[in-house]
Copies of this chain bind each other. A is one copy, B any other.
Amino acid sequence: MNSVKNISKKNPESLYPSYLVNIINDRLNDYLKDYKDIPEGLLKPINYCLLGGGKRLRPVLCLSTAKGLGCEMDYVMPTACAIEFIHNYSLIHDDLPAIDNDDFRRGRPSCHKKFGEASAILAGDALFAEAFGLIIKKQDCIPETKVKILREIIEATGLSGMVSGQFVDISTSRSGISKKSLEKMHFDKTARLIDVSVTSSAILCNAEDEIIRKLKIYGQNIGTAFQITDDILDMKESEGGIDVKNKKPVSQEKNTFPYVWGLEISKKIAERKIENALNAIKGIDMDFTLLENIAKFILLRKA
């Protein structure tokens, strides 16, 4: 058993392959420059949000999976960036007043606060469309593989994934939720896109089905753990009921693991998920150091 108990807790940030973030940011920037003859007023919010920082977890996972499988990281870059497009589309729409009503994102005004609601809605719509555009136009692979990863992404983002998770999140926020539904909601809302960051890369790198299956277990487990530790950090960061990051009162209405299970049990659940993830890839005879470190980082991170 690959116990997470033995992980050194000193400086967990050093576990994260931060050098990949710059490479990804450069590529995102390049892709955005490719859009010609597009209304500037629409490109501005897209640039603002997409180039506004963040740890780029999803594309970092995509690249790290490729590296572990002995595949060129650069090869999976279009898909990695497409998934980051999708992540940002979901953040922009989630922040809208009608949904989570978040005025801040990564310490800056959220998209609709900066550019207005109409621009935010359309910028999100555009990012979603162009995510598919990136894969279709830039990802170098045979059409069969392309269709395969597009299918994975649709299943992770459509009615069987992210959109439904987000819907359950907002529609249960004032009424409570069963523990089973809570897990499914976070799985749909967060874990599926994180899972697909790993599995789409594995598909592109022609990994065997059995390896893809194990990487899927890894992705789904770190995905749910990521949401749990995110909510734990939000709870810890709040001071006197104020969410410091988002500069608003901490929501007592959101159904999160720490809110439903309490802080201590939530930590244990996250720990177990990370253990499951590490165990899933331990058996693969390949160097998944990056994926292992990312899993540990998710558990131990301070931000």
Residues of A within 8 A of B (CB): 35, 37-39, 41-43, 93, 96, 98-99, 116-119, 121-122, 124-126, 128-130, 132-133, 136-137, 142-144, 146-147, 150-151, 154-155, 157-160, 163-164, 166-168, 170-171
Question: B130, A158: Cβ atoms under 8 Å?
Answer: yes
Q: A41-B171, A147-B136, A147-B147 are in contact. Are A129 and B163 (CB under 8 A)?
A: yes
Closest CB in chain B relative to A119 CB, distance in Å: 7
Question: B118, A170: Cβ atoms under 8 Å?
Answer: yes
Q: Specify which of B43, B121, B143 is in contact with A147 (CB 8 Å cutoff).
A: B143
Interface SS of A by simple majority: helix
Q: Specify which of B35, B38, B144, B150 is in contact with A150 (CB 8 Å cutoff).
A: B150
Interfacial chain B residues near A158, Cβ < 8 Å: 126, 129-130, 132-133
Question: B117, A167: Cβ atoms under 8 Å?
Answer: no
Q: How many copies of this chain are found per oligomer?
A: 2
Bound together, the chains give a CA A128 to CA B170 distance in angstroms of 20
Question: A164, B42: Cβ atoms under 8 Å?
Answer: yes
Interfacial chain B residues near A116, Cβ < 8 Å: 98
Bound together, the chains give a CA A168 to CA B41 distance in angstroms of 9
Interfacial chain B residues near A42, Cβ < 8 Å: 159, 163-164, 167
Chain A to chain B: the 8 pairs with minimum beta-carbon distance, closest first = A129-B158, A98-B117, A143-B143, A143-B144, A126-B163, A42-B167, A133-B154, A98-B118
